[in-house]
Amino acid sequence: MVRDGRTVLSDAIASQADMHATYGGVVPEIASRKHVEAIAGLTELALEQAGLTRADIDAVAVTYAPGLIGALLVGVNFAKSAAYALGVPLIPVHHTRGHIAANYITHPELEPPFVCLCVSGGNTMIVDVQDYTRMRILGATRDDAAGECFDKVARVLGIGYPGGAPMDRLAQGGDDTRYELPRAHVAGAPLDMSFSGLKTAVLNLVHNAGQKGETLDLPGLAASFAAAVSDTLVPRTMEAAKQLGYGKVAVAGGVAANTRIRADLERACRRSGDKLYLPQLSLCGDNGAMIGCQAYYEYLAGRRGGLELNAYATRSIELG
């Protein structure tokens, strides 16, 4: 429950991570079923925690794209029913726009325009946030998302799912020069990125060590990996910031919690003079508050969803 875009009254979250950890990744059908089970109770909990009743709700926000279609459809159908029953507007929100909005909650003074590095399990891109609802993609990954890469490497190292946070912990105190890992460049597209070569390099390293019976320096590998990801993300973000000259850089998405990336961005922004906005750790991963926040600005821009609203597995952040 969010008031006027910036004040979070409650942020109820139901995590399914333990369930998917058994399989080493998200099982779409299980994800959809768990959404069906959780959504009504979670909404009641959010109301209770905010000290509100249904009559206090002025609008219903929902993530309608992009993502796993089954899970999205559960949310969209529930939100449509709720908005219809309450007689209030329905506001469709692009998931990644929601991640960006987590910064408005953490930093009440932040206003567009700014450059935002969006890094999650499904997306990696550098966005020109021209206004709350007007965005342009400046560069994006051509293959894997950075978070997906963290998760795959963690899986092959056997350190759990989702792998980003345990990889981050493992990297603490590790030697980031221990393993030489590739940093890819996309010819002719300096702000685009590629992570599949890095992922393959780590997988090959692990398999070769296994075949030779060699023991890997795991903290060193995790630190070298985090450095390679950060060296791909941070200079491109800073280059975009330089080109646009807004003087403001933000980060969004689950991977924004990464210690190395946060530290490298802090250092780079100190050097360039840009102001850096990092979302608080609790708002980096998926949460409802960020969707409510972005919905306020979509609402002000006239965005409404009707009963015909559909969910989409893929959709550009530029379209909203």
72 or 205: whose CB is closer to ligand KG4?
72
Instruction: Choose, by CB under 6 A, the member of 285, 288, 292, 320 that binds ligand KG4.
Output: 285
Q: Choose, by CB under 6 A, the member of 5, 75, 163, 279 that binds ligand KG4.
A: 163
In angstroms, what is the minimal distance from the CB of 233 to ligand KG4? Answer: 11
Size of residue set near ligand KG4 by CB under 6 A: 18
Q: How far apart (Å, rounded) are the C-alpha atoms in residues 198 and 45?
A: 42
Contact positions with ligand KG4 (CB under 6 A) in 233-272: 253-255, 257-258
Q: What is the DSSP string of 49-99?
A: HHT--GGG---EEEEEESS-HHHHHHHHHHHHHHHHHHT--EEEEEHHHHH
Q: How far is the CB of 176 from ligand KG4 (least distance, A)?
A: 14
Residue 150 or 297 with smaller CB distance to ligand KG4:
150
Q: What residues form DSSP beta bridges with 136?
A: 128
- Strands 90-94 and 60-65: what pairing? parallel
Closer Cβ to ligand KG4, 47 or 123, answer by number: 123
| 274 counts as binding ligand KG4 under rule CB under 6 A | no
Q: Does 168 participate in binding ligand KG4 (rule CB under 6 A)?
A: yes
State the nearest-atom distance from the C-beta of 198 to ligand KG4, in Å.
Answer: 14
- Kindly tell me which residue out of 5, 98, 147, 305 binds ligand KG4, with binding defined by CB under 6 A: 147
At residue 180, the 3 state secondary structure works out as: coil
Cβ distance 195 to 232 under 8 Å?
Answer: yes
- Written as six digits, the tokens of 294 are 């972005």
Q: Shortest approach of ligand KG4 to residue 53 CB, angstroms? A: 30
CB of 99 to ligand KG4, least distance (A): 6
Q: How far is the CB of 152 from ligand KG4 (least distance, A)?
A: 9
Site for ligand KG4 in 58-97 (CB under 6 A): none
Q: Which of 91, 165, 290, 317 binds ligand KG4 (CB under 6 A)?
A: 165
Stated as kind and residue range, the H or E segment containing 38 is: helix 28-50
The amino acid present at 87, given as its one-letter code, is: G
DSSP H helices, 158-278, are 164-171, 196-212, 218-244, 259-272
Site track 106-145 with ligand KG4 (rule: CB under 6 A), x = hit? --------------xxx-----------------------
Closer CB to ligand KG4, residue 98 or residue 139? 98
Residue-wise DSSP of 275-290: EEE---GGGTS--HHH
In the complex, least distance from residue 157 CB atom to ligand KG4, rounded to whole angstroms: 13
- In the complex, what is the shortest distance from the CB of residue 5 to ligand KG4, in angstroms, rounded to a whole number? 20
125 three-class SS: strand
Beta strands 248-252 and 275-277, pairing class: parallel
Strands 248-252 and 114-119: parallel
Q: Minimal CA–CA distance to 106: which of 271, 268, 282, 267?
A: 282
Q: Which of 286, 290, 293, 305 binds ligand KG4 (CB under 6 A)?
A: 286
Residue 98 touching ligand KG4 (CB under 6 A): no
Evaluated on CA atoms 231, 234, 239, 242, the torsion sign reads negative
Q: Interface with ligand KG4 by CB under 6 A: which residues?
A: 120-122, 147, 150-151, 162-165, 168, 253-255, 257-258, 285-286
